[in-house]
Amino acid sequence: MMIDVLPPGVVLILGALLVPITSGVARTIIIMGLPLFVLVLIWQVPDGAAITAPFLDYQLTIVRGEAVGRVFATVFAIMSLAGGIFALRQARVLEIAAAFLYAGSAIGVAMAGDLITVFVFWETMAIGSTLIIWAAGTEAAYKASMRYAIMHLFGGVVLMIGVIGYVMTTGSVDFVHMAPNGFATWMILIGFLINAGAPPFSAWLPDAYPEASPSGAVFLSAFTTKTAVYVLIQGFAGTEFLIYVGLYMACYGIIYALLENDMRRILAYSIINQVGFMVTGIGIGTEMALNGAVAHAFTHIIYKALLLMSAGSVLYMTGKRKCTDLGGLYQSMPLTCITGIIGALAISSFPLTSGFISKSMVSQAAADENLMFAWFMLMAASAGVFLHAGIKFPWFVFFQKDSGLRPADPPANMRFSLILFAFLCIALGVYPAPLYAILPFEVDYVPYTVEHVVKTLQLLLFSGLAFFVMLPAMKRTLTITLDVDWFYRKLGTKLAIRLVNNCSQARNVVENIARQRLDVLLMKVSRNYGPGGFMARSPTASGMMVWVLVLLAVYLVVYFL
């Protein structure tokens, strides 16, 4: 047993318990102070194992200091601060407490040194995130949370199977790099990929996140998929298979986001698109690619949270979430509109925003490795990001037609977090050095060359042209687009109903046959035993005398024989 530092994740989880029992200023101090305190703790953890504990025959490394995990833990802490401020006055207490539980366990995963600790925090995350969805308090949210929880518990089981198999074959619980070369490691990889939103298990994300409260979706966007990115980097960097998974996710996210009408579902699909870039980088696995994946996860959490805060503000002020109901909000919500646009530019990796200095590292790595297919796909996906998130989201929410809605900007605490994250998006884009300094490998990359800026502008501006040229084809309709969840929401239900119907029909047939047989039997019984039946007849005295005589005669005969 060794305890050198306070465990940052556990501190945040315990802090979550303080949220419901405090109120007023004390709660505000906890919500704003605790993430900062945890951030300090994260940077107190020295390299190597910092907290170990024996468990059964194994030595758990509950906290481990290491470069990649530290970057993720850092951005998770920043996220819980900004999310906490955004949710401060409007969200239910349950939601904020659940968010801290969720964020704390995400930090726990990012700093865990063994698979058992990873698994425990992994499952705690599933609980925390499900509670956040519950906090929305609607029927739709409850149903979505159940589907979400089932999917994640299933993923947890797959992961557990993998972990047990891995520990049995290697004899070690240490969470180190592995290759998918056996049943156990494949199970671990699949368990990780389910949380990353990889196909075919991606529909849980756009199904559940948009049902959360305005602030709930902000928290949800940050942790689950990015811890999955983290564990994939640690466990499976350089697994070629992941390049194709990532490219698929990047394209899938765009296509579905283009078809979507609900503004937060657009952003949910775009999470999968962005995680696709990271997963591709992990698959490429070079130092440049991994730096890119880590940096992109960092910047992505911030601009995606900003976008969802912007969308959340619109939802909070108008109660509407469909593009068909929205439009023209720039007139009365200037701050929400401008910060939303900053987030949209950042996700599109416009020069001078955070996305520009992170995403390009992944495509640069693809070019360096001569991965032509991957490179062309990444370029197309980069253009598509501008199309579906960079323009589509702000256009249909804030411009488009005039919906007649004139909501004001959201309350002060929400405005503050919008400004904070918009500032970070630009600050990281203008001055990436601090982020580059904490990346796992030395950064040998200069984002701001004339060539790179011009190429990016060409790519993005002409994507913008495509959007406006094709605008009639982009017209929003009151529709949803069927995804893989159709299989368990519709086909599964249909099959279940059919099964029940068939079973009850079969039961009816069996019951009818049984009933007919029983009726025949009953008829026979009642013929003999019923009133007037042979056995129920009351015999006459003389008749009985005859029978007694017969019996006596038989008895005599037998006796003498």
Question: In the complex, which residues of this chain contact another protein (CB under 8 A)?
Answer: 251, 254-256, 258-259, 261-262, 322, 328, 330-331, 367, 370, 372, 375-376, 379-380, 383-384, 387, 399, 402, 450-451, 454-470, 473-474, 477-483, 489-490
Pair 148, 268: CB distance under 8 Å: no
Nearest to 307 by CA among 331, 277, 337: 337
Cβ proximity to another protein: between 215 and 463 the closer is 463
Q: Sign of the C-alpha dihedral, residues 468, 473, 477, 480?
A: negative
Going by C-alpha positions, the residue among 3, 9, 4, 6 that lies closest to residue 74 is 9
Query: 201 by DSSP, 3-state: which?
Result: coil
Q: Which of 88, 58, 72, 94 is nearest to 8 (CA)?
A: 72
Phi, psi of 332 (to 5 degrees): -110, -10
Smallest separation, CB 165 to another protein (Å): 37
Closer residue to another protein, CB minimum distance, 105 or 400: 400
CB of 104 to another protein, least distance (A): 33
227: tokens are: 């811890």
CB of 115 to another protein, least distance (A): 37
Our CB check for another protein shows the closer of 287 and 369 to be 369
Please return the burial class of 219, using the count of CB atoms within 10 Å of its CB with bins 0-12, 13-18 and 19+.
Answer: buried
Pick the closer one to another protein by CB: 95 or 262. 262
DSSP string, 424-465: HHHHHHH--HHHHHHSSS--------HHHHHHHHHHHHHHHH
DSSP state of 171: S
Q: Which is nearer to another protein, 470 or 549 (CB)?
A: 470
Identity of the residue, 473 or 535, whose beta carbon is nearer to another protein in the bound complex: 473
Instruction: State the minimum distance, in angstroms, from the CB of residue 466 to another protein.
Output: 3
**Which element (helix H / strand E) includes 48?**
strand 48-55
CB of residue 414 to another protein, shortest distance in Å = 24
Cβ neighbours around 409 below 10 Å, total: 18
- Of 90 and 332, the one with the shorter C-beta distance to another protein is 332
Three-class secondary structure of residue 530 per DSSP: coil
Q: How far is the CB of 162 from another protein (least distance, A)?
A: 32
Residue pair 167/115 in contact (Cβ under 8 Å)? The answer is: yes
Q: Given the complex with another protein, which of 198 and 460 has the nearer CB atom?
A: 460
- Coil, strand, or helix at residue 88? coil
Q: How far is the CB of 460 from another protein (least distance, A)?
A: 7
Contact predicate 200/485, CB 8 Å? no
Neighbours of 173 (CB within 10 A): 22
Residue 390 exposure: Cα atoms within 13 Å on the Cβ side: 28
Smallest distance, another protein to C-beta of residue 495, A? 16
Task: Sheet containing 48-55: give its strands across.
Answer: 2-3, 48-55, 58-65
Shortest distance, position 346 Cβ to another protein, whole Å: 18
**Closest separation between CB of residue 395 and another protein, Å?**
12
Q: How far is the CB of 143 from another protein (least distance, A)?
A: 9
Give dist(CA 139, CA 219) in Å, integer.
Answer: 20
CB nearer to another protein: give 59 or 318: 318
Give dist(CA 34, CA 318) in Å, integer: 31
CB of 161 to another protein, least distance (A): 31
**How many Å apart are CA 532 and CA 535, to the nearest integer?**
8
Angle at 172 between CA 167 and CA 175, to 5 degrees: 90
Considering the complex, state which of residue 165 and residue 464 has its C-beta at the smaller distance from another protein.
Answer: 464
Nearer to another protein, 227 or 348 (CB): 348
Is 42 or 268 the residue whose CB approaches another protein more closely?
Answer: 268
